[in-house]
Structure 1
Amino acid sequence: MRASRLPLSLLAVASTLVLAGCGGRAADNSLLRESFDSGDTFSRTVDGRPAEACEAARRTLLSQGYAIARADDGQVEGNKNFQVREDDHEQLVLRISCAPRGSEQALVFVSAVQDRYALKKSPTSASVGVGALGSVSLPFGSNDDSLVKVASSTITDSDFYRRFFDRLHQYLPAAAAAKPTPAPAPAASAALPNWEQLTPAQRDALLAPLRDRWNGADAGQRQRMLSHGQRWQSMSPEERDKARRGLRRFEHMSPEQREQARALFGQMRTLSPAQRDALRERWTDMTPEQRKEWVRENPPPAKPR
């Protein structure tokens, strides 16, 4: 008999453990549904300050028949009642929080809770005092009706919150109205005429820097300036355009690249066409360190004053 009872007791213990395990999973089931994912069902970023966002939320609730229980610059709460059946009553409570996000935006959080109430009737009987018999309860009386909360849950339907935020955006101040209107751009100056049509004063203003540079130059520098001017006059339009492009490239070079370009130019001025081609090919094959060494051995000419 004892041998037969042992398997039965083990079975009972195993059954208890299984039931306990199942009960634990059932209890934890609602917690496991909380994924804390990165979805935006309950929040949106909107243009405007938090106070403006909460005011838009307050107007959104009012437009749908909600009674406002609380409203300030950071939070709004409203509720709305529904009569589902004669003995069932539901209440929807929306709570909105508005937080700053940067200098011109707000982060709006909203959560809706649906509470369900049922009508409970509690019969009462009347008591009558009868002489020596004391108090006697009689079978007639009245019923006390009261609403009792029987369920409460947070709404997770994404379409519900999407409709709320769509409505909220309608009450937000327009971004264009909140931002200052930029000043109109000044009208472009009229195109200046060719050199021949310039006034004497305009020509003098353009030539003043060149005149100061000429007056401060020595004989050799003046000769180079004059040679450059004469060479420019002898250039074709295509050659002048090529020279302008080279000047623009020079302006966008780093200081080190400019020094290398000036050193190469200084050397090529004294070379024949064949020697120039050979120097270009040699320069192309040089490493950055070799180019630096070449510039140290062949420094660029002094800049003209």
Structure 2
Amino acid sequence: MPKKSAKASKNDAVARDAVRTATSDEEILRQRRRMQAVQLADLVLLAAAWALWMLAGLWYFVFHGLQVPSKVRWLPVSCLEDAVGNFLVCGHFCGMLARCAPQGNWPAWRKPWYLAWVAAFGWLSFLFFQASAPLHAALCGVLAFTMLTTCPAAAETTSGASGSHQADAPLGRSLLCLDAAALLLGVGQEAAGTSWQRSSAALATSMASVPLLMVALGLLCSTSETEILSSIPAVMLQLLSFGVSCVIREDFLTASALVLLFLVHAALYLPLPSNDPESNPFYNSFKRSVQRCVKFMAQPVSGFGDENG
């Protein structure tokens, strides 16, 4: 066989380099599109967090007298029925998760969880429409449609959240699993004791249970350090919300138990172990928050303390 000329070999090498460069450019472009899609979805999730707080306010002023008619009581906790508190905490949880993937990579569970919100908002929109609440129905319907159309079709997923590693916090992870199990049991309790044929009962139960269900699923799937550090404060806020509801209902025994659970979660932020507190991610997170607060308070306020003013 005749040998290839040096010129032909050079042309082949140039062609291969061009193909590799084109492939690399296409991959970079696809990666950029994936990152932009995830960042857009996180922005929508952040907007949904604000919408959840808005729904909490609308529910309080329009449907506050509507009670959850649950007849089944596996857990002696009536505070699970506080839809306003549940939506406020769920909004906080969504807002924290929306900031967990700044580099545009989602953990594997985030896309199904994001799509679950489409079903949740769609269901609430249907119930509000039946209850002749067009403003509530429109808000939930717009959220469902927006989250459906902005869900990343080809989001790059990883075993952990982007920019974070798997958390070295087995106690915190175990507490989150127990919290999620308790919330799921509470949701099951409310669902089992509701007459779903009555639209008012279905609406009241759904408003109390949907935020608890979504928070529970998020807690159960949180495994990275960033996700766990975002989840524990949400659980503590939920316990405070439950406690306030119990005090209002004069259920002081349950309120005392909730205070104890709150202290157990707060103990994660102690400087432990004493020989190496820096190994505790919760303590490090708390210390950074305190340092940011001190730095912010130390900044001079414009218009005050100006000797020449």
How does the TM-score come out when normalised to structure 2?
0.20
The structure where strand makes up a greater share of residues is 1
Q: Greater helix percent: which structure?
A: 2
Query: Using CA pairs below 8 Å that are at least 6 residues apart, which structure has the higher relative contact order?
Result: 2
